[in-house]
Structure 1
Amino acid sequence: MSMKSFPRPSDLPVPAGAEGWEKIYPYYLVFQDSLKEIEDEKFWFCDSQHWPTVFKPFETIGGEFAVKCLGQYNARHLMIPNANGIDFRIHHGYLYMSPIPVPEDQIAARLPEFQARIGHYFENWDSLLDQWRTKVRGTIDEMETLNFDRLPDMVPMDDIFSGKAMDGSERLMENYDRLIQLAYQNWQYHFEFLNLGYIAYLDFFNYCKEIFPDIPDQSIATMVQGVDMELFRPDDELKQLAALAVELGLQSAFANTDDAEATLEQIAAAPGGDRWLAQWEKAQDPWFNFTTGNGFYAHDEYWKENFSIPLGFIADYIRRLDEGQTITRPTEELIAEKDRIVAEYRELLDEEQGAIFEAKRQLAATAYPYVENHNFYIEHWTMGVFWRKVRELAATLVDHGVFAEAGDLLYLNRNEVRDVLFDLVTSWGVGAPQGPIAPAYWPPIIEERKQIVAALKTARPQPALNTPPEAITEPFTRMLWGITTEQVQSWLEADTDNVTGLRGMAASPGVVEGVARVVMDASQIHEIEQDEILVAPVTAPSWGPIFGKLKATVTDIGGMMSHAAIVCREYALPAVTGTGNASTTIQTGQRLRVDGTRGTVEILDLEDTVPEVAGPGAHSHEHATAVS
């Protein structure tokens, strides 16, 4: 008998050792006993697509800013008639979301405002998008200027002569406040165009469904594919560097890219190495502001700060080139297929319908690239600078004896860090011999929080909470996350004890068979071998360099407009997204048949499996960095 509801938040057992987890997050991010009746009535789904691992307290900033700013463009900027924002809570360390509908009696009144506002954007798309890039780059540039220097032993004499009359501690606090505000600023900019990209695509999508009732979702997606996206530019730079290395005969220099310094020295000493290094330098600004993760976590590693990452990808591209493989995306074939499908459907329409169809398609095609491109500017570039500045601040606090190690800062929320800074500047300013109170106050709290976070990581999150609605109609929830009525029902009916196959979103067409490689986070992508099928909770857009090696992709969450779906279509790679639990059901080494046209995944050899299984908490492995 299938379940009719997912567990309520209060029904879920707290992982051993994580008791009292609620107190490590701000009060407004956790479910409240006093609001239980209201919160249990709402359907919540886990956004493991963007936040696949447990939050440390400071890291909630990304979830808070992103979901708040997404909502403001629905509810306050664009006045989308049928969709307000998304309510959100953290439960057991994971982010859950609940779309907020617009009451029926308010929809009509919002429509004129909505039409006027989106009309302004679509009529001035190119100039406004240029303005957007300028705004975003200005925020990043200002963030780069912020510094968190150690406080001096005494005020410089120049400040006495100038009459400055401040001790410099104000800069430490002002720069911290400004860092938070600049991150918030670029998250507001993030959504200025994103919702419009979805709106344009959904308008085209709905029109196609109206005039072609039986059209597959994939055929609609195909009609806007084959576009040049800035998000692919970092990967394209690596491909060009690999091709140049082969042209110059530098392959032997890439034998051990884990030692980036030695690799670059070997290249420099080789004939033609100076030419390669010049292109390498040119590619870094801005395209190496890229992470193997998604930018939401402090442990994400950036190409700019760890050259072994891009060098390793280049080495793999060199191998594939030497084997005679094609490493470029099949853009010409994608465009040809797009043109063929557009022409076939266009022929079915009369002149008036055809004009409307083409106008809506062109608008969707114009706005569609932003759905991916924004990732580079915000999640990767902005957040890369943000986390670097956080590490600089943490190092200064360690230098002043506030924390024992830089990573301790992450176990405080951003408001608690502000209190710590005032504690520091107070003790420093008055010359207190014992120094700040923090070293006496925070260590046991930080240690407890570290244990709680580690304990929370031992359990995978529930895909959803409470009773789903009879129909899920909110467009972004369906298209981005793949949370559809049918998919939620399949999660409820899943028999985890007798799984022979999975059903998800038919995200990118094609049928293949191959061996599974389960990857729970970015730190494992180097394990992927040629022609394997990637199975993951979610993929990040930055995993582009490994897509050319794959036969197919399967994810736990994601809809037709998710990053995984879009990237797979641009690589002509079959994909099934939104399966709910593929990453914990399938084992590395199992043979799969992935049908990205129908949205099914069949496990072909249930008896013959590899014993090495990703156990509880495997998804939370992180690289060690200065702040981790």
Structure 2
Amino acid sequence: MSMKSFPKPSELPVPAGAEGWEKIYPYYLVFQDELKEAEDAKFWFCDSQHWPTVYKPFETIGGEFAVKCLGQYNARHLMIPNANGIEFRVHLGYLYMSPIPVPEDQIAARVPLFEERVGHYFANWETLLQQWHTKVRGTIDEMETLRFAKLPEIVPIEDIRSGKAKDGSEVLLENYDRLIQLCYQNWQYHFEFLNLGYIAYLDFFNFCKEVFPNIPDQSIATMVQGVDMELFRPDDELKELAALAVELGLQPHFSHTDAPEATLAAIGAAAGGERWLARWDEAHEPWFNFTVGNGFYGHDKYWNEHHEIPLGYIADYIRRLDDGQDIMRPKEALIREKERIVEEYRDLLDGEAQAAFDAKRTLAATAYPYVENHNFYIEHWTMGVFWRKIRELSRMMHAEGFWAKPDDLLYLTRNEVRDALFDLVTAWGVGAAAPIGATYWPAEIERRRGIVDALKTARPAPALNTPPASITEPFTRMLWGITTEQVQQWLGAGEEVPGGGLRGMAASPGVVEGIARVVHDADQLSEVQQDEILVATVTAPSWGPIFGKIKATVTDIGGMMSHAAIVCREYGLPAVTGTGSASTTIRTGQRLRVDGTKGTVEILDAPAVQGPGAHSHHHGHDAEPANV
């Protein structure tokens, strides 16, 4: 059955217990009654690719900074002729986005501005990218210096003698403000090159579609893919550590990696253990500034704080090496395949067309690795330091009686945190018995916790309102896979898949059959068995170690440039992305046929055999399948 549009925001039921949810987020993030007509006239899609779980109030910072900074490069820096930025709202705890088009009569005037600005970047790419690395590292290094220590009983005598005339509380307030500003700063830097990477790729993509009307999207992607990308480095470091452990005969010490201190101590005491630990320490900085999530949530676990995670992956690689498997990515084969495809298409052209093909492909291939690499520096490294500092602040305030659990700061918005800090320094400064917040916040946080938990019981609608006739914004198409055709597919207007299966983006070629493993969050990755098919709302870049185990990947959201698509192409695994509802339709244990060349997923058997973890802590994700 085909529909014309998705539900309106006001038509979605509010889960029981979540009433009044709008008030826990800033006013500018929720749909407004006064703007109902205008907001209902726009098409919104849910970005469950980056924000697959409900926001706690503080966590909207990642969505706000990321989408605002993405938009500024389209609309204010680069003047992309046909695309401004993306408006965003939080609805029922999930992030929805609406691309802002450029009015027809303004497009032509932006073209020369766009050409001059983009031209400057492409002409000075290496120098500017080097500057980018320096700027981003500078922000991270400054973030690391910020401290949130308990205020002293009295001002030190040295401060009296020097006439400092300040009590130190100003440092606490300044450090908080500075932490927020530094986070914002690296998000501005984040998009400096990312939009250019997409522009260069889209330009090459459109050119190929024009001169080779039947070229598969994947062949275009293969022609520009990088092989030695920094985003793969953390995973490659683990593989090297596993190989070294095998070489030194340290395998027996990896049997209980859930106890990291004991594991590392046992390795240290073994023959050759010191050499292995030296290599482990070397990998640490910076490559363990890496999360199993995506960097957007306060609960994301980072390798450098949870050693059981990298040690567990290493133990897995050791087992595979001992089984005689090759755990390295097939780099040489990938390069040969890329060169073969480039030659094959290049030879079909001559003269000016061939020169244009070479120039556009070279530019796209230069810009492309950044599309993935920036992730390591921003989502992983920057945000890892940011969340660590936020936890430090939350725990200091928890010790001052502000909230019941160490990390409860996440239930305040970032501006409320500033108020609570001022409350703290006021009570301390005047010598009061306790801050007001100690009586105000605990009950308010419990109320909000109840609302957030209630919101988690419902899956988000994939989109809202009526889609436009065509979608032009480059990110919306390349990253999220929200194309005109895909949205029609979600509405049921596309071709049927045999057996009532799903259709999505043909993101990485090949056809395989296997057993589904539905994963809703990173904690379930340990349940994935050899040769299963991973089905997820979205995959995070840090799931790299899993890709050596699985046969194929299917996701709810994501385009040709989503991580799942890029990583699967690098590992030579079939992938279908942007299906809309795979993670709520498919059950763990079902047998699937994934066709990454056509973009289809067939469910080969009737209702599922329930596998381990299929009914774990997922707030009703495993309820009846959602009909998109």
Give per-residue Cα distances to partners, 1:312-334, cap 9 Å, x unaligned: 00000001111111111111111
Counterpart residue identity of residue 131, structure 1: Q
Counterpart residue identity of residue 569, structure 1: R
Counterpart residue identity of residue 470, structure 2: A
Question: Do the aligned partners of 2:527 and 2:613 also contact (CA within 8 Å) in 1?
Answer: no
| Alpha-carbon separation, structure 2, partners of 1:204 and 1:223 | 10
Partner of 2:546: 546
Following superposition, the deviation at residue 472 of structure 1 comes to: 2.1
Partner of 2:25: 25
| Alpha-carbon separation, structure 2, partners of 1:338 and 1:61 | 39
Give per-residue Cα distances to partners, 1:192-222, cap 9 Å, x unaligned: 0000000010010011111111111111011
Identity %: 78
Q: Is 1:13–2:7 an aligned residue pair?
A: no
Q: Structure 1 stretch 601-610 or stretch 182-191: which is displaced more?
A: 601-610
Write out aligned runs for 1:207-286 (5 A): 207-286=207-286
Partner of 2:626: none
| Alpha-carbon separation, structure 2, partners of 1:198 and 1:244 | 38
Partner of 1:344: 344
Partner of 1:294: 294
Counterpart residue identity of residue 173, structure 2: M
| Alpha-carbon separation, structure 2, partners of 1:368 and 1:51 | 24
Following superposition, the deviation at residue 500 of structure 1 comes to: 3.1
Question: Do the aligned partners of 1:140 and 1:382 also contact (CA within 8 Å) in 2?
Answer: yes
Following superposition, the deviation at residue 436 of structure 1 comes to: 0.7
Following superposition, the deviation at residue 352 of structure 1 comes to: 1.6
Counterpart residue identity of residue 248, structure 1: L
Question: Do the aligned partners of 1:517 and 1:533 also contact (CA within 8 Å) in 2?
Answer: yes
Counterpart residue identity of residue 373, structure 2: N
SS at match of 2:479: helix
Counterpart residue identity of residue 220, structure 2: I
Write out aligned runs for 1:116-195 (5 A): 116-195=116-195
Write out aligned runs for 1:523-538 (5 A): 523-538=523-538
Question: Do the aligned partners of 2:524 and 2:613 also contact (CA within 8 Å) in 1?
Answer: no
Q: Is 1:431–2:431 an aligned residue pair?
A: yes
Partner of 1:626: none
| Alpha-carbon separation, structure 1, partners of 2:226 and 2:211 | 24
Following superposition, the deviation at residue 358 of structure 1 comes to: 0.7
Write out aligned runs for 1:328-477 (5 A): 328-433=328-433, 435-477=434-476
Following superposition, the deviation at residue 226 of structure 1 comes to: 4.4
| Alpha-carbon separation, structure 2, partners of 1:197 and 1:619 | 38
Following superposition, the deviation at residue 620 of structure 1 comes to: 9.2
SS at match of 2:422: helix
Following superposition, the deviation at residue 280 of structure 1 comes to: 0.2
| Alpha-carbon separation, structure 1, partners of 2:548 and 2:452 | 35
| Alpha-carbon separation, structure 2, partners of 1:552 and 1:608 | 19
Partner of 2:200: 200
Following superposition, the deviation at residue 351 of structure 1 comes to: 2.1
Following superposition, the deviation at residue 421 of structure 1 comes to: 0.5
Q: Is 1:487–2:458 an aligned residue pair?
A: no
| Alpha-carbon separation, structure 1, partners of 2:615 and 2:245 | 40
| Alpha-carbon separation, structure 1, partners of 2:508 and 2:170 | 53
Counterpart residue identity of residue 312, structure 1: G
Q: Which runs of 5+ in 1 are unaligned?
A: 622-628
Q: Which runs of 5+ in 2 are unaligned?
A: 622-628
SS at match of 1:539: coil
Aligned length: 619
Question: Do the aligned partners of 2:225 and 2:369 also contact (CA within 8 Å) in 1?
Answer: no
Following superposition, the deviation at residue 406 of structure 1 comes to: 1.9
Question: Do the aligned partners of 1:86 and 1:97 also contact (CA within 8 Å) in 2?
Answer: yes
Following superposition, the deviation at residue 494 of structure 1 comes to: 8.2
SS at match of 2:594: strand
SS at match of 2:407: helix
Write out aligned runs for 1:505-516 (5 A): 505-516=505-516
| Alpha-carbon separation, structure 2, partners of 1:475 and 1:401 | 48
Q: Structure 1 stretch 208-217 or stretch 54-63: which is displaced more?
A: 208-217
| Alpha-carbon separation, structure 1, partners of 2:382 and 2:612 | 37
Following superposition, the deviation at residue 471 of structure 1 comes to: 2.1
Give per-residue Cα distances to partners, 1:265-295, cap 9 Å, x unaligned: 1111111101100000000000000000000
SS at match of 1:267: helix
Question: Do the aligned partners of 2:458 and 2:620 also contact (CA within 8 Å) in 1?
Answer: no
Change (3 A) 1:613 1:172: closer
Counterpart residue identity of residue 15, structure 2: P
TM-score by length of 2: 0.97
SS at match of 1:534: strand
SS at match of 2:491: helix
Partner of 1:582: 582
| Alpha-carbon separation, structure 2, partners of 1:191 and 1:429 | 42
Partner of 1:90: 90
| Alpha-carbon separation, structure 1, partners of 2:121 and 2:372 | 18
Counterpart residue identity of residue 295, structure 2: G
Question: Do the aligned partners of 1:521 and 1:619 also contact (CA within 8 Å) in 2?
Answer: no
TM-score by length of 1: 0.97
Change (3 A) 1:619 1:75: farther
Counterpart residue identity of residue 65, structure 2: F
Q: Structure 1 stretch 464-473 or stretch 289-298: which is displaced more?
A: 464-473
**Cα RMSD over matched residues?**
1.6
Following superposition, the deviation at residue 405 of structure 1 comes to: 2.1
Following superposition, the deviation at residue 458 of structure 1 comes to: 0.3
| Alpha-carbon separation, structure 1, partners of 2:384 and 2:493 | 39
Counterpart residue identity of residue 416, structure 2: E
Give per-residue Cα distances to partners, 1:159-210, cap 9 Å, x unaligned: 0011110000000100000000000000000000000000010010011111
Partner of 2:502: 502
| Alpha-carbon separation, structure 2, partners of 1:558 and 1:273 | 43
| Alpha-carbon separation, structure 2, partners of 1:380 and 1:346 | 38
Following superposition, the deviation at residue 444 of structure 1 comes to: 2.0
| Alpha-carbon separation, structure 1, partners of 2:471 and 2:617 | 31
Counterpart residue identity of residue 444, structure 1: A
Question: Do the aligned partners of 1:225 and 1:334 also contact (CA within 8 Å) in 2?
Answer: no
Q: Structure 1 stretch 236-245 or stretch 345-354: which is displaced more?
A: 345-354
Write out aligned runs for 1:554-569 (5 A): 554-569=554-569
Question: Do the aligned partners of 1:394 and 1:406 also contact (CA within 8 Å) in 2?
Answer: yes
Q: Structure 1 stretch 161-170 or stretch 218-227: which is displaced more?
A: 218-227
Following superposition, the deviation at residue 394 of structure 1 comes to: 0.8
Counterpart residue identity of residue 509, structure 2: P
Counterpart residue identity of residue 593, structure 1: R
Question: Do the aligned partners of 2:239 and 2:317 also contact (CA within 8 Å) in 1?
Answer: yes
Following superposition, the deviation at residue 91 of structure 1 comes to: 0.2
| Alpha-carbon separation, structure 2, partners of 1:452 and 1:398 | 21
Counterpart residue identity of residue 270, structure 1: A
Partner of 1:321: 321
